[in-house]
Structure 1
Amino acid sequence: MSVRLRRDRIVVILLKKIYVYNFADLKLLQQIDTFTNPKGLCEVSHLSGSMVLVCPGLQKGQIRVEHYASKQTKFIMAHDSRIVCLALTHDGRLLATASSKGTLIRIFNTLDGSLLQEVRRGADRADIYSLAFSTTAERLAVSSDRGTVHVFNLKVDSGPLQTTSDQNIGSPPVVSHLSFIKGVLPRYFSSEWSMARIHLNEGLQYVVGFGHQKNTVVILGMDGSFYLCQFDPVAGGEMTIMESHNFLKSDETFS
């Protein structure tokens, strides 16, 4: 279904099993049984040193976390519905998950499995195509079949992993202005919303990541489209398209 690579490991993902190999001699190091995994969901940390691997667990909505340094396995019940998208920070400390409902994205501490934050993409069901952490794990980008890319502020910083009660960071999450009635009405009204967004072509699959330039995201579409967008980290709102190309139409640049 898919493959993940590190300098020292090759991870091969099948429908219900994952194989971890040593890169140097292709020796099989581990076999992992998973819930049916047609999307080939699996992510590995990329910093040198010990690897962290996340993949579906043995039941719907469950995540398995493998910490190879401590040789510990942790299971997280992330969602009630089937997991459709995963993202892991480079150091493997933070995990983002989305389910088939596509309304909520949850961020977990992989060390203890605790839920650190929950952000809302929208109220209606959507297919989440891509999740990406910024390099410093200050923000999370999300793309869906609605044709919209959202950028969320996160509560955890790039230092030692802490809960929000232990720290104070600059960019607060965006909370619904109706949050004052959260004790009366559903959690929807106290949800944390994206601070910046851009709407492209609905139904088209986009992969998103953060750019090397400050406060930018890179968006790649399955139709060959490329967008470099900039967001205002304070005011948020609609992102600005700085560059756009189509790599399947080499003679065409579109705005």
Structure 2
Amino acid sequence: MSRSLATPKASSDLLSVSFNQDGSCVSIGTRKGYSIANAEPFGKVYSRDDGPCSIVEMLFCTSLVALVGTADSQPSSSPRKLKIVNTKRQSTICELVFPTTVLGVKLNRRRLVVILEEEIYIYDISNMKLLHTIETSPNPHAICALSPSSDPCYLAYPSPVPSPNSPFSQGASQHSPGDVLIFDLVTLSVTNIIQAHKTPISSLALNSTGTMLATASDKGTVIRVFSVPGAQKLFQFRRGSYPARIYNISFNAVSSLLCVSSDTETVHVFKLAQGTKGAGASSNKGLVPPTSPSLDGSSDTGSPTGNGRGAGGYEAFIDDKKKSGGLSGSIRKRSLALGRNMAGSVGGYLPKPMAEMWEPSRDFAFLKLPTPGVSSVVAVSSTTPQVMVVTSEGYFYSYNIDLENGGECTMMKRNFAATSQSTLFSRATIPPMRRGHRRWEIKSLLSLIFVFT
């Protein structure tokens, strides 16, 4: 649930933030150390000043935490060193040292995954044995998703794309930079390739059961959901007309909602078909009528699209206000309305796959962050109908969502914790790295895991 969040508006003291696997806790890295906070209600549980932490990742609500340092710190806290610590006993369980910077860390109860720029290392978390190494294309943003579940246990990452000078480039010409590989972490083999987008992947997320994968490209206009490992397209959603950088994608616990944050101030909430398990759902079943504040536009594959109805919401209202008052504005509005009506009429006569390109589903609900242009990570509460957002400015927001009617979410809480003692939240952009790994040292077993109380 973590994502690089460096922006001009990020707090200078903040280095990292991420929700844990079920969204119940937030792990925070600062220039002085790290801390753990409960998400509901928001409050600090644990903190320690051990030097800068560029990555802080939890294993659910246990005391097992993965830490990575920074380049401007003492040698004992290097960006090349991954430490597994037990916060209950305040002890270091294990250290893994790499020749270059660690860009990302993912954990579940079965596997530990370490993402480098051109390699992914897979460990058995019970004994820290290195099981497998995957070579990848350059991945400076550590785009990767690990299923929270241990069975099935899947890893999703962008498909390697050979360079034009590579001797394998001709044989791999059918692969697109928007393809995603599904890797089984039990059998240690690729189980499927999902043709998700035509442009490079910018964000991936697996649901809690490891049966659904959400994807976004670097264009950021369309969000797609696929079954895992079957690679069937289940849903296609329209985030907006204009390109945007997707910061974070997150399913709720029962995979009925999907949250997407980007470099705009709007966080979108899409509704998935009720009862969908991920494997056998129809691609159009349960898609919700559009309620997005975004305008219609083209898909990230260049296909013609349309809504089938007028766009609604705050942004559309403001846009209409700006365009009213003049002949050109009147003509523009009539042209837009005519285009939407034509798209809806034509879409009704098309087969489902083609109609889907014309009528991508809009969001079910949305929320507006107070400050535009800040990066964020999102999660949906597993106990209350609320969306939780943490921004690079240092704010933790909680928004109430109407599960029946959708629409604009209502802000319920706002907490500020951007201090040296308890800090929120900017996942640092980490320097690029290459390959390799050498020594690792076990100081104690990973069975020493204690739940926070």
TM category (shorter chain) comes to 0.7 to 0.9
TM-superposition CA deviations, 1:32-88 (whole Å, max 9, x none): 122221111112112243411111111211111012456552111211111111110
The answer to whether structure 1 residue 76 and structure 2 residue 194 are counterparts is yes
TM-superposition CA deviations, 1:201-231 (whole Å, max 9, x none): 2210010110134321000001111111011
Query: Alpha-carbon deviation of 1:236?
Result: 1.4
The answer to whether structure 1 residue 180 and structure 2 residue 295 are counterparts is no
Cα distance in structure 2, aligned partners of 1:208 and 1:166: 26
Shift in alpha-carbon separation, 1:247–1:151, aligned structure 2, 3 A: same
Query: Alpha-carbon deviation of 1:113?
Result: 1.0
Equivalence for 2:359: 190
TM-score by length of 2: 0.51
Aligned match of 1:233 in 388, 398, 403? 403
Residues 98 and 104 in structure 1, CA contact (< 8 A), matched pair in contact too:
yes
SS for the counterpart of 1:181 is helix
Equivalence for 1:39: 141
Cα distance in structure 2, aligned partners of 1:154 and 1:128: 19
Cα distance in structure 2, aligned partners of 1:107 and 1:158: 12
SS for the counterpart of 1:31 is strand
Query: Alpha-carbon deviation of 1:186?
Result: 9.2
Residues 208 and 254 in structure 2, CA contact (< 8 A), matched pair in contact too:
no
Cα distance in structure 1, aligned partners of 2:126 and 2:412: 42
Cα distance in structure 2, aligned partners of 1:37 and 1:182: 40
Aligned match of 1:21 in 116, 123, 131? 123
**Structure 1 residue identity aligned to 2:373:** G
CA RMSD of aligned residues (A): 2.4
The answer to whether structure 1 residue 208 and structure 2 residue 372 are counterparts is no
**Structure 1 residue identity aligned to 2:362:** W
Residues 155 and 164 in structure 1, CA contact (< 8 A), matched pair in contact too:
no
Which structure 2 residues correspond to residues 136-147 of structure 1 after superposition, within 5 A?
A: 136-147=254-265
Aligned match of 1:247 in 417, 427, 449? 417
Cα distance in structure 2, aligned partners of 1:165 and 1:66: 23
Which range is displaced more, 172-181 or 128-137?
172-181
Equivalence for 2:217: 99
Cα distance in structure 2, aligned partners of 1:166 and 1:23: 39
Shift in alpha-carbon separation, 1:5–1:16, aligned structure 2, 3 A: same
Which range is displaced more, 183-192 or 32-41?
183-192
Give 1 or 2 for the bigger CA radius of gyration. 2
Cα distance in structure 2, aligned partners of 1:50 and 1:238: 35
Equivalence for 2:178: 61
Cα distance in structure 2, aligned partners of 1:117 and 1:158: 11
SS for the counterpart of 1:174 is coil
Cα distance in structure 2, aligned partners of 1:198 and 1:182: 32
Cα distance in structure 2, aligned partners of 1:186 and 1:49: 36
Residues 222 and 240 in structure 2, CA contact (< 8 A), matched pair in contact too:
yes
- Listed as ranges, the gaps of 5+ residues in structure 2 are 1-102, 162-176, 291-306, 310-339, 422-453
Shift in alpha-carbon separation, 1:80–1:120, aligned structure 2, 3 A: same
TM-superposition CA deviations, 1:153-183 (whole Å, max 9, x none): 113635473222797x6xx512431462343
TM-score by length of 1: 0.88
**Structure 1 residue identity aligned to 2:181:** R
Shift in alpha-carbon separation, 1:187–1:94, aligned structure 2, 3 A: closer
Cα distance in structure 1, aligned partners of 2:215 and 2:155: 14
Query: Alpha-carbon deviation of 1:125?
Result: 0.5
Residues 235 and 284 in structure 2, CA contact (< 8 A), matched pair in contact too:
no
Query: Alpha-carbon deviation of 1:7?
Result: 2.2
Instruction: Name the % identity.
Output: 32
How many residues end up aligned between the 2 structures?
247
Structure richer in strand, relative to its length:
1
Residues 208 and 255 in structure 2, CA contact (< 8 A), matched pair in contact too:
no
Structure richer in helix, relative to its length:
2
SS for the counterpart of 2:156 is strand
Equivalence for 1:7: 109
Which structure 2 residues correspond to residues 149-168 of structure 1 after superposition, within 5 A?
A: 149-155=267-273, 157=275, 159=277, 161-164=279-282
The answer to whether structure 1 residue 86 and structure 2 residue 204 are counterparts is yes
Shift in alpha-carbon separation, 1:193–1:50, aligned structure 2, 3 A: closer
TM-superposition CA deviations, 1:84-138 (whole Å, max 9, x none): 1111011110000011100000101112111111101000010100100011111
Cα distance in structure 1, aligned partners of 2:269 and 2:283: 23
Cα distance in structure 2, aligned partners of 1:188 and 1:91: 28
Cα distance in structure 2, aligned partners of 1:160 and 1:143: 22
Which range is displaced more, 18-27 or 149-158?
149-158
Shift in alpha-carbon separation, 1:54–1:156, aligned structure 2, 3 A: farther
